[in-house]
Structure 1
C-alpha cells in the first residue's frame, strides 16, 4: 500500500469510531466539559513548566485538546478525521473556551505559518498512525518557534510486541521488535471493546525506540527521555490505577510507555 492508501484505510476506522467515542465512558466527555482534565498524570507533569501557544496533532475528538486549553493561552487541535474534528469542536464549544480551535488536514503539511507555536504536544496513541516519522517531525519543527519545545508521550514500542493473552491479564509476545515497519491488524475498539466495528482492519506503523530518538535528535536538542511502567488506558484486566488516567501492572516484562522533551534550536 502507498502511504495515501494506508491513511484512507485508517481514516475510515477513525471516522467510524468518533461518534462511538463521544458516548464512551473512556473519554468521559461530560466530565471534561464540566472541568475535569483528561490528561494523565504523566502528561500534566511533563507540561507543568510550559505555557504559550500549543499545537496538539492527532487530537481525535479533542478531550485532551480542551484540557490543554485550560493551561495554554492558545491551543490548536489537528487531525485528519473531519468527523472527529467536528465532534471536537462541539465539545470545545460547550466549554466556551476562546483559547481552543481545531483544524483538519495532513500532519506532514499543517496549514499554519512557520514559528506559530511555543509547544507541540504529541501524546498517547499517535505514533502507530505515523508512517514517515522524520517528515512529520520536520513539519512539527517548522511550525514551532525557535526555542520552542516538542513534548512527546506514547506507548513504548517494546510493549507493542506484547498483546493481550488468555486470560486477558497476560502479555503474550506476538510480534518481533525488529520486524515489519507496517502491520495490518484486526482491531476491536480500545474504548468500547464489545461494540461492533465495521472497519476492523487498520494499518499500524512500527518504530523502534532508536528510530524515534534518532528522528527527534535530527531536528531538536534532546532535553529529557523517560520510560514508565504505566499506560493511559487499562490495556490488561489486572492493571491497577496508579495516578490520574494511568494504569500499571504489578509485574511487567517491558516498559509500557515513554516520554521525550526536546527543544528546537
Structure 2
C-alpha cells in the first residue's frame, strides 16, 4: 500500500528526529539506560494498577517503552520509522531490558495477533499523527483481550490552538478549535529547538475532545477521564516543573493535557 502525502512528509521528519533525539537531553537516554523512568507522573499513576502484556504504539526511540517494561511482564513497542525502531532496540539492549521488543509497523495495521495484549498505551504526542482515529482505535480494540485496557494521555486539543505570543511568555490563539482537520506546519524540533532541521514541514491531525471521546466510546467502556494543567514537555515559555517530567504554566487559559482509561466490553 502506497503512503499518503502526509505520511511521507511526517516519516521524513521522524527519521531525522530519531538520530537527533538519541543525543537529546530531553529524552535523557543515559538516565533511562541507568534505570530512571522517562514516564511523567501522570503516566505512572495511570499505569500503576495495570498488569500483563502491554502494547506501546508510536514508541519513537523507545525510552518510554523501556520505562514501561519495568511495570509490565512484557512490552511491545512499534513505530513506522525504521530508524527510530533501530535506535529503540539499541537503547533497550543498553538498558538490559528483557521484557521489551520492538517492531516496525503502522498503527492502522498493527503487527500483532488479535486479543494478544492486556493494555494498549498511547501517550504524549501521538494523536496529532493519527488522521483516522476511529480506525486506529478499532485496531487497538482488536489486539486487546476481553477486559483489556486502553490508556491515552496526550496534549489537550484545546491547547493545540495556542502558540507562544509576543512577549514569548504569552499564549495567543492561532488556530480555530473547530477548524481544519489537517494542518500543514513548519516546525523546529520540539526537543532540540536550536538544531538545524532539514525536514521542517509536517502534517498534523486535529481532533476535538468530543471526537476523541466518541471514537473511544464506539468500542470501549469509559473508566476514567481527566484534564490537567500540565504537559510532559515545555511547550510554552514560562512553564515551571509540576511533577516528574511535567511542566505547568501559571494562568493558563485552557487545559494542557488529558487522560482516558477505557476497557474492552
What is the TM-score normalised by the length of structure 1?
0.98
Which structure 2 residues correspond to residues 37-76 of structure 1 after superposition, within 5 A?
A: 37-76=37-76
Q: Gapped runs of 5+ residues in structure 2?
A: none
Q: Post-superposition shift, 1:3? A: 6.6
For residues 45 and 111 of structure 1, what CA distance do their matches in structure 2 show?
28
- What residue in structure 2 maps to residue 221 of structure 1? 221
- What is the aligned-residue RMSD (CA, Å)? 0.9
- What residue in structure 2 maps to residue 11 of structure 1? 11
Q: Gapped runs of 5+ residues in structure 1?
A: none
Are residues 1:237 and 2:260 paired? no
Q: Which 4+ stretches in 1 moved above 4 angstroms?
A: none
For residues 95 and 52 of structure 1, what CA distance do their matches in structure 2 show?
21
SS of the residue 2:238 aligns to: coil
Are residues 1:160 and 2:160 paired? yes
- What residue in structure 1 maps to residue 98 of structure 2? 98
CA 1:183 to 1:20, structure 2 compared with 1: closer, same or farther past 3 Å? Answer: same
Contact 2:14 2:81 (C-alpha < 8 Å) held by counterparts: yes
For residues 30 and 167 of structure 2, what CA distance do their matches in structure 1 show?
33
Contact 2:164 2:237 (C-alpha < 8 Å) held by counterparts: no
For residues 159 and 103 of structure 1, what CA distance do their matches in structure 2 show?
32
SS of the residue 1:247 aligns to: strand
Are residues 1:263 and 2:263 paired? yes
Q: Post-superposition shift, 1:168? A: 2.2
| Greater displacement, 105-114 / 82-91 | 105-114
Are residues 1:134 and 2:126 paired? no
- What residue in structure 2 maps to residue 254 of structure 1? 254
For residues 224 and 156 of structure 2, what CA distance do their matches in structure 1 show?
15
